[in-house]
Amino acid sequence: MEYYKQINEIWRVQGYRKAINTLRQQKQPVRTKQDALKLPGFGHQLSDKLEEIVKTGKLTRLIESKKDSRAAVLGLLEGIFGVGPNTAREWYNDGVRNLSNARVRPDLTPQQRVGIDRYHDFNTRIPRNEVAQHFSVVESAARNIDSGLRCFIMGSYRRGVQTCGDIDLIVTKPGTKRIEEGEKSLMWVLQKLTTQLTAMGFLKVCLLGKDKGGKDSNSKWYGASMLEDIGIWRRIDILIVPWSELGASLLYFTGNDLFNRSIRMLAVKKGMSLNQHGLFKDVIRDKNWKKIHRGTLVEAHDERKIFEALGIKWLEPKERNVG
Ligand code: DCP
Ligand code: MG
C-alpha cells in the first residue's frame, strides 16, 4: 500500500487499505489463496500475494517495486507542471516521495502548486473532440476581438492522434510581420483574448513563470482551460505568431518533437537552419557551432515551400508521428 501511495495509484491504495482492514478483523489466521478469496476485497491477485507471503515469507512484487521505486517517484514528480528532471532529482534527494511531500516544499512555485492541485487533471489525456471544443471557444472569442484573426490547432491534434496531452493553439492575422520589424498589431490581442476568456471562466489560471515567457512574453500564454460540462482542467498553450512566419510556426508546433529534430538536422546538413521563425541559409557559426549570424531568410510563411526548399516531399501532419 505504501508503494502505491508513493506512485499515486489511488485505486490500488484503497484496495489494499480495505484488504488490510478485512484481515485485521479476522479471528482465524488466513493462510491460503482459497481462504483469502472468500474475504471481501480479495481478488485473485491479492489472494495470490497473501499465499506467497505465508509460504515464502516474502513478496516478489514488492522486491521488484523497491528496485523501480526511485524511477517511479521521479516519474511522478516530473508529471507535475513546472517540474523537470533536475528539480525532480533534487526533491527526491531531499526525501520527497509523493505529492503531499512535494506540496510542502518551501521553494514551490505558484505554477508547481497548481500542477500538484491539478495533478490528475493535467495527466489525463484529452479526447480529440474536446480539444476541438476548447479551440472553438478561443476562436470565437478571437473573432469577436478582430474578425481578421485566424486560429489553428497544433501539436498532436494536427497530427491526427486520438487523444492529446495538452491543447496547442496558434493565433495569427493576415498581413502581420515580426514584432522586431515594427508590426505591433498582434501584441495586444493575446492580452485582450486571455483577459476575456478568463472573465468568462473558461481560462482558469495562467501558468507563465516569473520571466513571463521571457523574450516571447507578448506572444505566448500558458495556462489551463475548462469546459463547464466536463469540469477537467486542461493544459492550454496559446501562441501569437506573425502571418509572415506562419509556415515555420505550423511546422514547428505540429511536431512531433522527433520529427522536428530530424528535419532541423536535415536543414543543417544542407547548410541551412530551421526554427519556428523560418528557414535560413548562409548562417554563420563560430567554432563552437554557436550562431553568430542568423543568415538570410529562405522561407517562413508557407509550410509547403519550406519542404520544397529543403528538397523533401510534402508530408501530411499525420505522417509526422515518428519514433
Ligand atoms: N516541440 C518541440 N520540442 C520540444 C517541445 C515541443 O519540437 N521540446 C514542438 C513539437 C511538438 C509541439 O511543439 O509536437 C507541441 O508540443 P507538445 O509538448 O504539446 O507535444 P505534442 O502536442 O506533440 O504532444 P502532446 O499530445 O503530448 O501534447
Ligand atoms: Mg500538445
What pLDDT is recorded for position 187?
A: 76
DSSP 125: P
For residue 179, the model assigns a pLDDT of: 67
For atom 2 of ligand 1, which residue has the closest CA? 257
The per-residue pLDDT for 216 is 59
Ligand 1 pocket: which of 124, 158, 168 to mutate (most atoms <8 Å of CB)?
168
Predicted pLDDT of residue 293: 82
49 catalytic, yes or no? yes
pTM: 0.79
HSE, side-chain direction, 13 A CA sphere, residue 297: 13
**Ligand 1 pocket, residue 164 CB under 6 Å:** yes
What Å distances lie between residue 116 and 8, 76, 122, 169, CA to CA? 12, 10, 9, 24
**What is the rounded CA–CA span in Å between residue 213 and residue 225?**
18
CA 157 to chain CA centroid, nearest Å: 13
Q: What is the mean pLDDT of residues 11-31?
A: 93
Position 215 pLDDT exceeds 60: no
Q: What is the mean pLDDT of residues 231-239?
A: 97
Strands (E), the chain: 126-127, 150-153, 163-164, 167-172, 203-206, 220-225, 234-240, 272-275, 278-281, 284-285, 291-293, 296-299
pLDDT recorded at residue 244: 94
Backbone angles phi and psi of 280, in degrees to 5:
-120, 150
Ligand 1 pocket, 320 CB below 6 A?
no
Q: What percent of the chain has pLDDT over 70?
A: 94
Q: Which of 300, 252, 257 is nearest to 276 (CA)?
A: 252
Lowest-confidence region among 31-35, 133-137, 255-259, 294-298 = 294-298
Would you place residue 209 in the very low, low, confident or very high pLDDT band (cuts 50, 70, 90)?
Answer: confident
Cβ atoms within 10 Å of 79's Cβ, excluding its own? 17
Is the shortest distance between the CB of 242 and ligand 1 below 6 Å? Answer: no
Q: How far is the CA of 6 from the centre of ligand 1 (A)?
A: 28
Please check whether residue 207 is in contact with residue 82, taking contact to mean a CB–CB distance below 8 angstroms.
Answer: yes
**107 Cβ inside 6 Å of ligand 1:** no
Q: Cα of 60 to ligand 1 centre, how many Å?
A: 38
Q: What is the pLDDT of residues 75-127, one digit of tens each?
A: 999 999 999 999 999 999 999 999 999 999 999 999 999 999 999 999 999 99
Higher-confidence residue: 6 or 146? 146
Higher pLDDT, 214 or 190: 190
Active-site pick, 49, 177, 212, 269: 49
Range scoring the smallest mean pLDDT among 22-26, 157-161, 216-220, 310-314 = 216-220
Confidence (pLDDT) at 16: 94
**Span from the CA of 155 to the centroid of ligand 1 (angstroms):** 6
Ligand 1 contact via 156 beta carbon (within 6 Å)? yes
Give the pLDDT of residue 212. 58
Dihedral angle over CA of 185, 189, 190, 194, nearest 10: 170
165 lines ligand 1 (CB under 6 A): yes
Q: What is the pLDDT of residue 164?
A: 98
- Grid cell digits, residue 278: 523560418
DSSP string of 188-204?
A: HHHHHHHHHHHHTTSEE
Q: How many angstroms separate the CA atoms of 285 and 18, rounded?
A: 64
Grid cell digits, residue 106: 518551501
pLDDT at 278 over 60: yes
Sign of the dihedral through C-alpha 188, 257, 319, 124: negative
Q: Which residues contact 317 (CB under 8 A, 6 or more apart)?
A: 158, 159, 160, 254
Contact 149, 189 (CB under 8 A): yes
Which residue type is seen at 107?
Answer: D
Residue 217 has pLDDT above 70, yes or no: no
Distance (angstroms) between ligand 1 centre and the Cα of 244 equals: 22
- For the chain, domains (ranges, CATH) are 2-65 (1.10.150.110), 78-122 (1.10.150.20), 126-241 (3.30.460.10), 254-320 (3.30.210.10)
Atom of ligand 1 nearest to the CA of 261: 7
Rounded Cα gap, residues 25 and 10, in angstroms = 23
Residue 158 CA to ligand 2 centre (angstroms): 9
Greatest CA separation found in the chain? Answer: 82
What's the chain's Rg over C-alpha atoms? 25
The H or E element containing residue 110 is helix 110-117
Ligand 1: does its nearest atom lie under 6 Å from the Cβ of 166? yes
